Amino acid sequence: MRKISFFAAVGLLCASSLMAESYVVDASHSSVGFGVKHMSVSNVKGNFNKFSGTLDVEGKKITALEGEVQISSINTNSDGRDKHLNAPDFFDSKKFPKATLSLVKHNGKKLEANITMRGITKKVNFEVELNGPVKHPKTNKDIIAVTLEGKLNRKDFDIGTDTANVMVSDNVEIKIELEALAK
């Protein structure tokens, strides 16, 4: 009877380690950023100050990932530019207040996600790095970190379609760095 109980306990421990762990993004230790060429020479960086997300991780595989940014929180260190990016010819943040990201699949160092902006959804490929989990010394909860790097074409989402590629590059580099705490 003891052998059965021991093996049952070992089986439960193994099964629980294969279950996905759910995490919530800690925005104070995360960033959602982008970079775009201006006049074909300089790289202008920006980020979104308001965002949220959740993810599930099983071992070293992301099995679910959902996130959203508040478009009006865009920050490029230029109030005039930020106001223009929120206008109807770019993000149109009054009509489309958020952009979302949703996992399609994760395989090793590659992650595919659906990104929706201005009501248009497109698949975007990312290089992914997953670190952790580690135990937070104060909460004793698991913490993980995820870095996503990819590119998208802004015109695929009807963003700035009347602005020439030479003025603002069509290609936008995306870098998302997330720290997330187990639920």
Query: What domains lie within the chain, and their CATH numbers?
Result: 25-182 (2.40.128.110)
Q: Which of 27, 15, 121, 29 is nearest to 73 (CA)?
A: 27
pLDDT of residue 17: 46
3 state SS of 167: coil
pLDDT of residue 1: 53
3 state SS of 72: helix
For 103, half-sphere exposure in the C-beta direction (CA atoms, 13 angstrom radius) is: 18
Answer whether 67's CB lies under 8 Å from 99's CB. Answer: no
Supply 130's token pair.
């997953």
pLDDT of residue 19: 84
Phi/psi-derived region of residue 108, left when phi > 0, alpha when psi is between -120 and 50, beta in every other case: left
Give dist(CA 30, CA 23) in Å, integer.
13
Residue ranges, the chain, pLDDT below 70: 1-18
pLDDT of residue 18: 59
pLDDT of residue 6: 47
Give dist(CA 63, CA 163) in Å, integer.
38
- Please give the backbone phi and psi of residue 178, each rounded to the nearest 5 degrees, phi first: -120, 135
Classify residue 164 by its DSSP letter. Answer: -
Residues 6+ apart with CB under 8 A from 12: none
Answer whether 36's CB lies under 8 Å from 43's CB. Answer: yes
